[in-house]
Homo-oligomer: A and B are copies of this chain.
Amino acid sequence: MKQPLNFSACLRKYLVVLRFKNEFRVSKKSTDSRARTGQIKTARGVIETPIFMPVGTLGTVKALSPEELTACGARIILGNTYHLYLRPGCEVIDLFGGLHRFMHWDGPILTDSGGFQVFSLAKLSKITETGYTFQSHVDGSRHTLTPEKSIEVQLSLDSDIMMCLDQCIQYPASREEAEAALELTTRWAERCFDFWKGNRRPQNNLFGIVQGGMFPDLRERSAQQLTALDFPGFAIGGLSVGEPIDLMREMADFTLPLLPDGKPTYVMGVGTPEDLVELVALGADMFDCVMPTRNARNGQLFTASGTLNIANARFRTDTGPIEADCTCYTCRHYSRAYLRHLYKTRELLAYRLNTLHNIHYYLNLMAAIRSAIDHDAFADFRRAFYSRRNISIGAGHP
């Protein structure tokens, strides 16, 4: 806030943005799987893929500072449109020219459409051809979220990667439900696309979302309809909504090859470390999940050999770090005994140190995956990953 404005620096930055062209390039393809590395160029920085995006629901990745996120290797974070639209509201964010300056994060931000949270959090939500109507879970106020409104809010956030408003369905859902939802999702995607084309600035990308429930032919139809529009990237929605893990991976396996090779692919809301490894093998480029942050706040810490619960009594006198070879701030300076003490006494520092480790674990895993793909050694990496975790290849949650 306080630094004096450097006018020429501002102008230079503005010109860079103006002549900027968003771009995705595949760097390397694995020879024994569909795993690939690539680069998404955005106006606010280059994102090396495959990438995990920490979730910053309300304009903060819970318990971490932006500097800590950067130190953990975060290059893009996620904001939730539904939450930010309700609090603090666009009229506040507009005063800062977007979410970046409001939250002191200079890098790219991906925002969801708000649809999933209306579906899962809001009260009395109704869906029509026009969009969603709902009552805020915070204060009961009434709102309407149309495809155009969703893009308008995301443009107000100045999101680097915006998502189309889609219709989410529960699992299990009937074929009729899934079909109707995918058709509505397509019609909304067209409205989002048109509104985006008419109102975007160069830095704002928009991704389409493939729906279709757990029905391969519906997924195929959705992918065909969506890819008819020239979105800069595509996501697979409606996964990780309660279905068995094998079914989730099966649907991703079927759907990912239906998306254009030259565009980044994003599997929304996924997942465990195993999910990330498996979905990378199937060709996915981008992921987000609350698991590393939420589990951290519940004392669940990720390590190469599995998850540990820091509240466990056996850590009371454990002077070692969470993970011996981890280079995160938490592991460099604090013991399991101290982290257990902080967690048991509900000290605020506990949530931060735990979150920092888990985010570092996830981003470090993605960096190792990228390096393995670049050296065409992803199959070896995958074997070593499972052998350290002491579970068989392709297996489920830790």
Q: Measuring CB to CB, which residues of chain A are less than 8 angstroms from any residue of chain B?
A: 1-3, 58-60, 62-65, 87-88, 91-92, 95-96, 102-104, 316-317, 319-321, 324, 331-335, 337-338, 340-342, 344-345, 347-349, 351-352
Contacts and interface: CB of A to CB of B under 8 A. Distances in A.
A341 B62 CA distance: 13
Nearest to A63: B348
Contacts of A104: 333-334, 338
Nearest to A138: B345
Contacts of A340: 88
A1 B335 contact: yes
Contacts of A91: 317
A158 to B, nearest CB: 15
A177 to B, nearest CB: 34
Given A62-B347, A65-B352, 15 more contacts: A1-B332, A1-B335, A2-B332, A3-B332, A60-B349, A87-B344, A87-B345, A92-B316, A92-B317, A92-B337, A95-B319, A96-B335, A102-B338, A103-B338, A352-B352
Copies assembled: 2
Interface of A is mostly: loop
A2 B347 contact: no
Contacts of A2: 321, 324, 331-332
A341 B1 contact: no
Nearest to A321: B1
Given A324-B2, A352-B352, A102 B337 contact: yes
